Amino acid sequence: MADKEANPSKKPTLLFLNKESEPLFSKKNRVLLTDPLDDNNPITVQVLGVCSALAITVQLKPALVMTLSVIAVMGASNVIISLLRNLIPNRIRIIVQLVVVASMVILVDQILRAYAYDVSKQLSIFIGLIITNCIVMGRLEAFALGNGVWRSFLDGIGNAAGYGFILIVVAFFRELLGSGKLFGYQVIPDAFYEMGYENNGLMLLSPMALITVGVFIWIQRARNRKLIEKN
Amino acid sequence: MGFSPQNCLVMNRDSNGYTFLFAAAMVLVVASTLAFTASSLKSLQADNVRKEKMQNILSTIGIQTDREQAETLYKQYITGTLALDHLGNPDEKVDAFQLKLNNEIKKPANEQRFPLYKAVVDNISYYIIPLRGSGLWDAIWGYIALKSDINTIQGAVFDHKGETAGLGAEITQQWFMDRFKEEKVFNSSGQLVGINVSKTNNDPKDTDKEDHEVDAISGATITGDGVTDMIIERLTHYLPYFEKEKTTMASIN
């Protein structure tokens, strides 16, 4: 990870009690939230978590639930790993991260099954596969193990939101063009269909998710020159 | 990694003893948290599954409902649940709704119990038969409702565990399930033929309702064959019961 950051304070920190006082939303902390939305987006810049981005973006609703689930999992596991960062034995740190992420995912899955059964059926294995989403483990290893609780929390939320932002944008276009609906409600008027408009069935297939992400990357790079490789 | 020696709070973090201690404590904490959550949410989850089953049963007779309404409507329309033996006699000792078809289906036919739901909507009675079979990757199941002539299909609903999304998994789509409506499971000479999910029926709109065939899904041949097989396999076991029902109906008329 290029953005690996050292602990900002060189003084010993006891769990989350940081001796230096810093406003909660200082500029440095805000960057943790906003950076993954654009400059360092997990999907379009780091190209992580693409598999699930293809699979669950046919409709907005599952994409939104997936986003919220990933935000919950990443926020919580970043906080837990950050809290334990001075206790975790170095040699089994990956196992510890995996156990923490896996338990968070199981919790989310169980809660969805109890309170949002239909969505949980729709997302089926993809909730379980949050465990394998490289973004989650990547942030634990690169950030939470070396940073304080609050900063790690922001970083987790930020990266999950950056991931979810792409999911929602892609799902918006796929549902709109593929089924003429948004959140399951018909938005393209019947008159259009009578005039010969047809839903684009191709939008429902995963290749179009990849192409939509590609178009997004194109627009993002045209707008944000920093992202263009120099050579 | 992002730790430095002066950050250490406790004993040497790299010693074997500490590593084992940490792992053991972690496993304990995680296991008890998850076990607690799972057991406290269990009743809610089981309730969802039960209501979904009612929802599926109701949808075969054309009653679409959300999960909240399912139980009320189920009680309103489903007039009887029977657990039949292989001779078509109801077994009073068995609760048909609780029968697990995936367990039953492994037993020899004469030990199985065959659940059957009877429904009455607007004074017309229906027979709803649960189905279970194999798709390409894993189990497929569903319900099929026959009209009171015990021949014409009122509706069918299918579900699956792990069929390929976009191909085999399409059997759960309404347009596929709708193809079964009005099809007949007995041929003109009274023989049970079931419904063939066919790639060669030359009837893509399924307008011919006398051909015992529905149009298959491209790329889902094995799942489609699984649907064909499970319909005929399951219905066969209900033949003795159907015979009895037909005789009773004939005697009433």
Chain A contact set for B44 (CB, 8 A): 114-115
Q: What is the pLDDT of residues B56-76, one digit of tens each?
A: 899 998 888 888 888 889 988
Q: What is the per-residue pLDDT for B126?
A: 92
Checking A26-34 for CB contacts under 8 A at 24+ apart, the result is: A29/A150, A29/A151, A29/A154, A32/A151, A32/A154, A32/A155, A32/A158, A33/A154, A33/A157, A33/A158, A33/A161, A34/A158
First-last CA distance in chain B: 85
**B82 or A22, greater pLDDT:** B82
ipTM, two decimals, is 0.71
Residue B253 and residue B250: Cα distance in Å, rounded? 5
Q: What is the pLDDT of residues A59-118, one digit of tens each?
A: 888 889 889 989 999 999 999 999 998 889 988 999 999 999 999 999 988 998 898 888
What is the SS3 assignment for B160? strand
Predicted TM-score (pTM) of the model is 0.74
Q: What is the per-residue pLDDT for B6?
A: 47
Q: Please say if the pLDDT value at position A214 is more than 50.
A: yes
pLDDT band (50, 70, 90) for residue B239 = very high
Q: What is the per-residue pLDDT for B23?
A: 92
Quote the crossing angle between the two packed helices B239-252 and B221-237, to the nearest 10°. 60
Q: Please say if the pLDDT value at position B106 is more than 70.
A: yes
Kindly state whether A106 is in contact with chain B, defined as any CB-CB distance less than 8 angstroms.
Answer: yes
Could you please report the per-residue DSSP string of B56-74? Answer: HHHHHTT----HHHHHHHH
Residue with tokens 């919580």: A76
Kindly state whether B16 is in contact with chain A, defined as any CB-CB distance less than 8 angstroms.
Answer: no
CB under 8 Å to A182, separation ≥6 — which residues?
A60, A172, A175, A176
Chain A contact set for B40 (CB, 8 A): none
Kindly state whether B29 is in contact with chain A, defined as any CB-CB distance less than 8 angstroms.
Answer: no
**B197 or A50, greater pLDDT:** B197
Could you please report the per-residue DSSP string of A94-112? Answer: HHHHHHHHHHHHHHHHHHH
| Mean pLDDT, range A192-200, rounded to an integer | 84
Strands B78-84, A185-186: pairing kind: unpaired
CA distances from A62 to A85, A121, A208, A211, B217 (A): 33, 10, 17, 20, 25
Kindly state whether A103 is in contact with chain B, defined as any CB-CB distance less than 8 angstroms.
Answer: yes
Kindly state whether A187 is in contact with chain B, defined as any CB-CB distance less than 8 angstroms.
Answer: no
pLDDT band (50, 70, 90) for residue A7 = very low
Chain B contact set for A113 (CB, 8 A): 41, 45, 48
